[in-house]
Structure 1
Amino acid sequence: MNRFGPTRKETWFYLLASLAGLALVGVAVALNGVGGIAAVEVVGLSSLFFGGTAIWAGLRLWRGRG
């Protein structure tokens, strides 16, 4: 057991919250589109954040360390 990292339940929460965030970004883009350079930045950075967190949590759960 890792004393310093997140527990398995927390890692599952990170994964589900990240997938929900990606879904919300997708819905927002589908409904409103991307209307300018600021929107591209917001959508890009939020997608990178949620996507990276989802990949991190998924790999951690896959390897059994979460």
Structure 2
Amino acid sequence: MSKFGPGKPELKFRLYVSAAGLALMLAAMLYRGIPQGPALFEVIGVAGAFFGGTFLWTLRKLIKGDHSDGL
């Protein structure tokens, strides 16, 4: 366990927010279609990397139990 860093409740919050962000991004692409040109990089590249990376990083920390005790 890490002495410093986010606790388990904050990690759960991050996981839920990143999952919601990915779901909203997918819903927007299903509704509006796949973006073309620079918007493709912005939507899929930047937003997908941010929400996807946060989701995977948080999930890994929760599974490994690598979070602070909240002291």
Q: How high is the TM-score relative to the length of structure 1? A: 0.89
**How many pairs does the alignment contain?**
66
Distance in 2 between residues matched to 1:42 and 1:27, nearest whole Å: 16
Q: Per-residue deviation at 1:37?
A: 1.2
TM-score (norm 2): 0.83
Deviation at 1:3, TM superposition (A): 3.4
Structure number with higher helix proportion:
1
Contact kept? 2:29, 2:35, Cα under 8 Å: no
Of structures 1 and 2, the one scoring higher in RCO (CA 8 A, sep 6+) is 2
- Where do 5+ consecutive residues of structure 1 fail to align? none
Structure 2, unaligned runs of 5 or more: none
1:17-63 Cα shifts (integer Å, max 9, x gaps): 00000000000000001232122012221011100000000000000
Q: How well do the aligned residues superpose, as a CA RMSD in angstroms? A: 1.3
CA distance in 2 between counterparts of 1:35 and 1:23 reads 16
